[in-house]
Amino acid sequence: MRLRINIIEGAAILLVIIIAAVLFLYGGPKPYPTDKVVVAFGDSLTRGYGTVSPDKNFVSYLSEYTKINIINAGVTGNTTSDALIRLKSNVLDYHPDIVILLFGGNDYFDGYSEEVILANMRAIIKAIRKEGAKIILLGGNDKFAPAYEKVFEKLVAEYDIEGYVPNVLRGVSLRRDLLFDEVHPNGKGHKVIADMILPVLAKVLTEL
């Protein structure tokens, strides 16, 4: 009798192990590769200007979700020209696997032409690609710059960008409860942005 119980218990344990393995391989959420280097390269939106603490911006939320220590290389007020100057030291020297790019808003506010933005972004993308990293491009706010998305759509098609989130401020820019000011999200707004980016980041991570 005792032997029969042991056999049944053993079979039950084996069944649980098999089910767990099947769920892990085919149905369950898989852990992200935490050994990968991810850099978020951008301006004040990346830096988290307008949030109450450094752990309340979309970069920190993505780090929390993926358990990857994503490097925040955002600098408030930066244009694409500024980005080119610090690209090597702030991004390439880390030898990243993925770079999340968010630039262009300050260029528009400063009156830079679309041609200048395109030229600078092309140079940035080429340098990152030369390093062997994949790119996730975040589109800006077409509330202020209607032509913004067209510039980035052109870049996505031209360079076959691995990940693209158009108009990253959609669902945020028209809600006062998600904004710090007319342009910058607060902590709640950054969480909305992180939730939009996460599926794209997850997809690119699985392709590494």
Average pLDDT, the chain: 86
Residue 10: count of CB within 10 angstroms of its CB: 10
Task: Give the pTM.
Answer: 0.84
C-alpha to C-alpha distance for 182 and 190, rounded to whole angstroms: 14
pLDDT tens digits along 38-56: 999 999 999 999 887 777 8
pLDDT tens digits along 78-88: 999 999 999 99
- Which of 5-19, 55-69, 101-115 is most confident? 55-69
CB 43 within 8 A of CB 103: yes
Domain boundaries in the chain? 1-30, 34-206
Q: Which residue has the higher pLDDT, 111 or 85?
A: 85
* CATH code given to domain 34-206: 3.40.50.1110
